[in-house]
Amino acid sequence: MNRFIIIALLVVLTVGVYMFYDFYSLAVTYFYFLLFFLIADIIYKRKINLIHVWCAGFVYIILSEAFITFGINFYKNGLDALQYLIVANNLILIGYYSNNSSPQVNKQNGKYEYTTKKLGVFLLIVCILFYITATLPSALASFALGREAAAEGENFVISSIVNSMGFLLPSVILFYFYHIKKTSLLISFLLSSPIFLILFMGGSRFPLLFSFLGFFLTYQNLSSTKFSKKKIFLLGMALVILLSASYAMKEFRTGERNVTNYTEQTEEYRDLPTYVSQYLSNEGIIDMTSLMIEHFSYHDHLYGASSSFITYFWIPRVIWEDKPTMLGHWFIRQYRGGFSQGHSASFGFTGDLFADFGYLSLLFVLFIGRLIKSAENFQDKALASNNYKVILGAMLFPYVFFFVRSPITASMTFLGILFFFFLFKKTVFKELKMLKN
């Protein structure tokens, strides 16, 4: 379909959002719109793009809250919050389709191939052992006591750096052993399994998503057979593992009894959105957005102070004692109680922007949509390269998905991934340019 027609339809849909006066009816309508869009566009393009991952993330992380939380209709400003979030998501789509750029063909006379350096395997094993040693105690404590108790006294900067290494390592292991050394996929998986297990014991679904999905997508793009029955079977198994791990974390996480509790409705079948949303992730973003609308109707906006945290997050608090905290940390403590020191809430992709600029933040949201299209173009080239860049292209999928939940946290994580991506490239692998005949 012509992209101008799509943009026109999205504009009409955006205006129509404000014709709804019932919270639940608006949520149901938008659920089916995104479901139809995802199915139709994926079938039409015959591939899953970053914009599809974004929309799936919106349903999984934000829209599901409307169906699985009791009392949502009684949130003050709840309808306003849902309308704002849906309009913001529509502007993401409008920004995406307004960017008509396409991947640039590499016209260089040759392509890059990779081999390994002499100490490559030694450095890789050392990194795996270091990661296990550095994270296993915290993972065990988190599994036994809960994430909040385990996070007490943890150095945020150091833990973020180590975690970023864990997100990338399985994909690097796969590239080294499966792609270059031509060993069995099982070898790569067994070497990566301690990392997956530690991330699982850590009790958070999104880090596991970052690592496991990156590993699987790297394999999918490096494998010579793109659409075999084996690949379809492995994709199905990967989805089952991720969903099972997500459900297990949801059921067995402990030590977080004092945080805001969103009671989920599971007693009876009401409709498809409600039934499906029981298995999704209720992050309370609609609740937090409604609370922000109330707060900033009486207080000044922050005019960049919240979003700018990404520029100085790396400075240790021992050096800068008065360093501001993130929105998800200080805001909930102003209105809610009973939180541990390390707990923070999710405010979604609009949270910091709304805190800074209010409804004018929607202009920046439109720009995010254009960036997603540009990132998609880069990803297409990276995945088609069939070399080390495939890893970075694969990592964009979980980055975009996680961005829906927490842009600053996702970006901090991705910056760490970029650091280790180039570090492994220089220390483990050797880049060779293969000239064409």
Per-residue pLDDT of the chain (437 residues; tens, 9 = 90+): 678 888 999 999 999 999 999 898 999 999 999 999 999 999 998 888 999 999 999 999 999 998 876 444 456 788 999 999 999 999 999 999 999 877 765 544 446 678 888 888 899 999 999 999 988 888 887 776 665 554 555 556 667 778 888 899 999 999 999 999 999 888 999 999 999 988 888 766 778 878 888 898 898 888 865 555 555 566 566 656 655 655 555 555 544 444 444 444 444 567 888 888 887 878 889 999 999 999 999 999 999 999 998 888 878 778 888 888 888 888 888 887 666 666 778 899 999 999 999 999 999 999 999 999 999 999 999 988 888 999 999 999 999 999 999 999 899 889 999 999 999 999 998 877 654 54
What was the pLDDT predicted at 156? 60
What was the pLDDT predicted at 230? 59
| Co-location of 25 and 166 in the same domain | no
Give the pLDDT confidence of 232-282 residue by residue, as tens digits: 566 566 656 655 655 555 555 544 444 444 444 444 567 888 888 887 878
Task: With H, G, I as helix, E, B as strand and everything else as coil, classify residue 267.
Answer: coil
What was the pLDDT predicted at 216? 87
- Domain of 392, in residue numbers: 113-258+388-434
Give the pLDDT confidence of 6-28 residue by residue, as tens digits: 899 999 999 999 999 989 899 99
| Co-location of 60 and 122 in the same domain | no
Distance CA 38, CA 13 (A): 16
Nearest partner of 54 among 370, 397, 418, judged by Cα: 397
* Residue 373 included in any domain: no
* Residue 301 included in any domain: yes
| Co-location of 161 and 241 in the same domain | yes
* Residue 421 included in any domain: yes
Q: Beta partners for 113?
A: 432
* Residue 374 included in any domain: no
3-state secondary structure 165-189: HHHHHHHHHHHHHHHHCCCCHHHHH
> Domain tally for the chain?
2
What was the pLDDT predicted at 239? 59
Say if residues 108 and 423 touch (Cβ distance below 8 Å). no
| Co-location of 299 and 419 in the same domain | no
* Backbone angles phi and psi of 281, in degrees to 5: -115, 110
Q: Beta partners for 431?
A: 114
Distance CA 323, CA 224 (A): 50
- The two structure tokens encoding residue 164: 């970023």
| Co-location of 180 and 32 in the same domain | no
